[in-house]
Amino acid sequence: MHVVTRFAPSPTGALHLGSARTALFNWLFARHHHGTFLLRIEDTDRERSTETSVQAVFDGLKWLNLTWDQEVVFQFSRAAMHVTAAHQLVEKGKAYYCYATPEELDQMRAEAKAKGLPPRYNGLWRNRSPNEAPSGVRPVVRLKMPQQGATHVDDLVQGPVTVSNAQLDDMVLLRSDGTPTYMLSVVVDDHAMGITHVIRGDDHLTNTFRQLQLYEALGWTPPQFAHIPLIHGADGAKLSKRHGAVSVDSYRTLGYLPEAMCNCLLRLGWGHGDDEIIAREQAIAWFDIAHVGKAPARFELARLDHLNAHYMRAIPDAELAERLKPFLAISLNEKQHQRLLKSLPSLKQRTKTLIDLAKMATPYLTEAPLCYTTEALEVLYSPGNRAIIDGIFPLLAASTWTAVALETTLREFTEAKSIGFGKVAQLLRWALTGCKVSPGIFEVLEALGQSESLARLQSACDPKGG
């Protein structure tokens, strides 16, 4: 069998983490089986579907590098095909026109509620002739659901699941305005697109029983279903905005890498032994539905931070510099670019996101004189500290500019002056970066280079603070 999967989001907002994971699982399953991954935009809700949301889906999938294999399918454009399928069912006697009025439907719901039952349609028009239709009522089309027996699904994640057909009322296929419902459109599109496996959230499991009956009525072979658990927050509650950012684009803006996000999403409900770091090629080779768990997965930011730090360290410096540039407040000239490259090996060991990295890299990219903060000025211009900088300056100007030579120079100075080396290193850190925290002072000196380092020390001796 040639495997065909699909990701079918409704474009009513940003691409949610749960939706992104569904797309990832479908993509990996297709790639693992050398199959086809399709994208369908379910834009039948015309009031809520927006072009901005459609673009958010495209951008999110492209950022995650989840490429689809054929032209995007827009569900609304295929409405005529959905309507035709419904009318064919009516002609075969497997669906019917229902003329129940809003008042009658309200009464059915009230009666069911009074009996402690879920609201449902009672089959009022199931066996009646349209000739009895009241005037002025536009009918809906309902599927004749079986009233005896049970509907069974062998779910690839949930296992065998059965529901009594008595619980499934006659669902609407066409609304009174003639437009198709979600349930009809999904089945018709999945069949037309040749979908072999439907991998989606387990909140759709109840829909599957109804959709299987629709496949049966249409005489089509249904796909295999796999309903994956939802994503919860660290507190065990369903993931929502109160847990922080829940959209893919938000994490992109926060400076996370797509490799880390995909690795994190992959491990939400799926695992391969104790492996935590799983590269794309390995994920394709290993992924299978059998290792998707039934229990809800918990999204924890600490895990994403850990993964992001790992992938930042693994990316070659030249590539990381290019990814970092959109997060920098300035456009780099060649000298600044080279300085950034020199600083990255150290900086990326100390940061977790591109935003953190950009913040820590900023002191390397500005030019002397620096604009020091009040805290920095208080440190730099205390009389004792000014004297230390004045004493170090000529020694550094004469030193060979390597980490070994610079360390020898500074240690000889501190020993001669009986000053703690840590104090001198911290003072130089303030003078060279304007910050209290930075990589090792010799790494800073090497990354800045002799000319820029001396210019910064000179500006630190300026009573105006640059």
Specify the DSSP class assigned to residue 222.
P
- Report phi then psi at 20, rounded to 5: -60, -40
Q: What is the pLDDT of residue 242?
A: 61
Domains 243-365 and 374-460 belong to one CATH topology: no
Q: What is the pLDDT of residue 364?
A: 87
Sequence-separated (6 or more) residues with CB below 8 Å from residue 223: 190, 195, 196, 197, 198
Q: In what helix (H) or strand (E) does residue 432 lie, and over which residues does it extend?
A: helix 421-433
Average of pLDDT values for 378-392?
87
pLDDT above 80 (res 412): yes
Average of pLDDT values for 361-386?
86
Q: Do 349 and 388 touch, CB atoms closer than 8 A?
A: no
Determine the Cα–Cα distance for residues 157 and 426; give it in Å rounded to an integer. 57
Distance from first CA to last CA of the chain, Å, rounded? Answer: 71
Determine the Cα–Cα distance for residues 270 and 262; give it in Å rounded to an integer. 12
Say how many residues make up the chain: 466
pLDDT range class, residue 465, cuts 50, 70, 90: very low
Q: What is the pLDDT of residue 466?
A: 44
Q: Do 97 and 139 touch, CB atoms closer than 8 A?
A: yes
- Selected catalytic residue, list 241, 294, 335, 464: 241
- Report phi then psi at 227, rounded to 5: -105, 110
Closest CA to 189 of 289, 39, 369, 410: 39
Q: Please give the class, per CATH, of domain 78-228.
A: alpha beta
Q: What are the tens digits of pLDDT across the range 326-365?
A: 999 989 999 999 999 999 999 999 999 999 999 999 888 9
pLDDT range class, residue 240, cuts 50, 70, 90: low
Strand partners, 180: 174
Q: Please give the class, per CATH, of domain 243-365.
A: alpha beta
Catalytic, 342? Answer no
Q: In what helix (H) or strand (E) does residue 41 lie, and over which residues does it extend?
A: strand 36-41
Q: Which CATH number fits domain 374-460: 1.10.10.350, 3.40.50.720, 1.20.120.80, 3.40.50.620?
A: 1.10.10.350
- Report phi then psi at 10, rounded to 5: -95, 125
Determine the Cα–Cα distance for residues 192 and 218; give it in Å rounded to an integer. 12
CB atoms within 10 A of CB 272: 16
Q: What is the pLDDT of residue 241?
A: 61
Q: Where are the domains of the chain?
A: 78-228, 243-365, 374-460
- 80 by DSSP, 3-state: which? helix
- 140 by DSSP, 3-state: which? strand
Q: What is the pTM of this model?
A: 0.90
Most distant pair of Cα atoms in the chain: their distance:
109
- 372 by DSSP, 3-state: which? coil
